[in-house]
Amino acid sequence: MRRERFKLLLKENLLTLLTITGVIGGIALGIGLREIPAEGGKWTPREVAYINFVGDIFLRMLKALILPLIITSLISAVGCLDLSLSGKIGGRAVLYYITTTIMAVILGIILVVTIQPGKGAEATSTEVTGETRNVTTTDTLLDLVRNMFPPNLVQACLQQFQTVLVPPKHNPHEQDLNLWSVSGKYTDGMNIIGLVVAAIVFGIALSSLKEEVQVVLKFFQQLSHTVMKVTGWVIWLSPLGVLFLITAKLLEMDDLGVVFGKLGLYFAVTAGGILFHGFVILPSILFILTRKNPARFIANMGQAIATAFGTSSSSATLPVTMQCLEEKNHIDPRVSRFVLPIGATINMDGTALYEAVAAIFIAQLRGLPLSFGDIVAISITATAASIGAAGIPQAGLVTLVMVLDTVGLPAEDVSLIIAVDWLLDRFRTVVNVLGDSFGAAIVAHYSQKELAAIPPREEAQKVPRNSMGNSAETVLFEERL
């Protein structure tokens, strides 16, 4: 039995070690291989695509898990809690999300205002590819709310709603967007906010019908369990996946030295702020509130951190995050499966910090003086943008445009910082994932008593670690019915 446990431990940590080796190997290989094309030549896009192939397959598998994972997790977790408890857990999670996001924004603002990376830098813009969209902040926020209520759930898996502005016929060059007419269209991309809301409502309905719908609840719990099983398999690809993703990305980039030379200080301030928030402030909050060892907690999330860095997508990382949180940090699945999908959708501390810093950096670069009111406005929009990002079609740039708009900076100025965005995105994603994980741990800690009070139907406590390597807690979750 002991040997078995030891083997299991080695097996789990071996994978994390391999994945971290994959990250480091990817960086080394990427930097090394850049030199290969002769005389300042570049790798062709085709060659880069070939190198990216394995990484792409890994990413596709992770993405395939997102939809089944969020639907089954939310329905089964909310379904097995009574309404008042899920309200409490949800409320605690949202309180944590808002507090930490605001803290991240404040940290970013303090750094960028004191260090002033935009003062000395020169304003050279890179060409932005892709159309710039005419949007107003109000329309974007209204779309977010509209997308919470999808008229067709099947369509919501594929498309989301977007308001489009059409210039008046008699004056196609009208500058004032208020005079444009408003229509709407569906654009490609999963309507994640709509699906999350629908799954929660469905879960609440199951929980209020109780005994009547035991079979349906059991069905979703077992489906959720099955999806996690597949996740466990996909995770074995992560060392190779992240290696190829990172190598390919590094080969694709233009001259790294030039880029960091110009934007070096901005990059350092943003990355420093993001990492300080994720690796100092949030762990301190975890320690103060739960007395858990934050270093251990972070080490247990290693797999998720490496995947976040490799994929730069916290939604693609979600299956891995859930696995690490439940299997290694032993967070109650009823909490993690409930709050993680919500966190992945609305809680993005790294993104919020980044947007605030970026907007103020651009203002400094343009020599635009900012009043205290401007800074407050930037903080509020950056927080709102990070909450709404997942609900906005082609988010990324659009949300930053919203923040720039609050202080009257033009959308084109996004191009000033685009050169280092691919790398900052990876740091943001890591901290977004960590933020969700700390949140789940804190919420689970405060909900411990209430969760324990839900009487297990069978003698589930006696169920040991099963053959699939799932913790007793996971089994307990299955048996709670």
- Residues within the interface to ligand 7O9 (CB under 6 A): 66, 70, 192, 312-315, 318, 341, 344-345, 348, 351, 389-390, 395-396, 425, 428-429, 432
In the complex with ligand 7O9, the residue whose CB is nearer, 66 or 363, is 66
Can you say whether residue 312 is alpha, beta or left, with left for phi > 0 and alpha for psi between -120 and 50 degrees? left
| Cα 21 from Cα 132, distance rounded (Å) | 39
Minimum Å distance from CB 461 to ligand 7O9? 31
Backbone angles phi, psi at 186, to 5 degrees: -100, 130
In the complex with ligand 7O9, the residue whose CB is nearer, 18 or 335, is 335
| Cα 323 from Cα 470, distance rounded (Å) | 10
In the complex with ligand 7O9, the residue whose CB is nearer, 314 or 336, is 314
Minimum Å distance from CB 340 to ligand 7O9? 8
In the complex with ligand 7O9, the residue whose CB is nearer, 139 or 349, is 349
**CA angle (363 as vertex; 360, 366 as ends), nearest 5:** 155
Minimum Å distance from CB 139 to ligand 7O9? 17
In the complex with ligand 7O9, the residue whose CB is nearer, 413 or 480, is 413
Minimum Å distance from CB 191 to ligand 7O9? 10
In the complex with ligand 7O9, the residue whose CB is nearer, 66 or 107, is 66
Minimum Å distance from CB 113 to ligand 7O9? 21
In the complex with ligand 7O9, the residue whose CB is nearer, 65 or 475, is 65
Minimum Å distance from CB 26 to ligand 7O9? 18
Minimum Å distance from CB 234 to ligand 7O9? 15
- 467, burial (CB in 10 Å: exposed 0-12, middle 13-18, buried 19+): exposed
Minimum Å distance from CB 359 to ligand 7O9? 14
| Cα 348 from Cα 430, distance rounded (Å) | 10
Nearest Cα neighbor of 203 from 118, 90, 109, 41 is 90
Minimum Å distance from CB 430 to ligand 7O9? 9
Which residues are bridge partners to 166 per DSSP? 181
| Cα 258 from Cα 264, distance rounded (Å) | 9
Q: Measured in Å, how far apart are the chain's first and last C-alpha atoms?
A: 29
In the complex with ligand 7O9, the residue whose CB is nearer, 55 or 476, is 55
In the complex with ligand 7O9, the residue whose CB is nearer, 387 or 475, is 387
What is the amino acid identity at position 355? E
Half-sphere exposure of 328 (CA within 13 A, CB side): 25
| Cα 69 from Cα 322, distance rounded (Å) | 10
Residues in the chain: 481
Rg (CA), the chain: 23
In the complex with ligand 7O9, the residue whose CB is nearer, 429 or 474, is 429
CB proximity list for 73: less than 8 A, separation 6 or greater:
224, 227, 322, 337, 338, 340, 341
User: 257 in helix, strand or coil?
Assistant: helix
User: 348 in helix, strand or coil?
Assistant: coil
In the complex with ligand 7O9, the residue whose CB is nearer, 249 or 428, is 428
In the complex with ligand 7O9, the residue whose CB is nearer, 432 or 470, is 432
Number of CB atoms found within 10 A of residue 236's CB: 12
| Cα 379 from Cα 377, distance rounded (Å) | 5
User: 161 in helix, strand or coil?
Assistant: strand
Minimum Å distance from CB 245 to ligand 7O9? 13
Minimum Å distance from CB 233 to ligand 7O9? 19
Structure tokens at 76: 């089964």
| Beta strand spans in 167-312 (E) | 181-188
Backbone angles phi, psi at 337, to 5 degrees: -75, -20
**Count H helices, E strands: the chain?**
19, 2
Minimum Å distance from CB 4 to ligand 7O9? 34
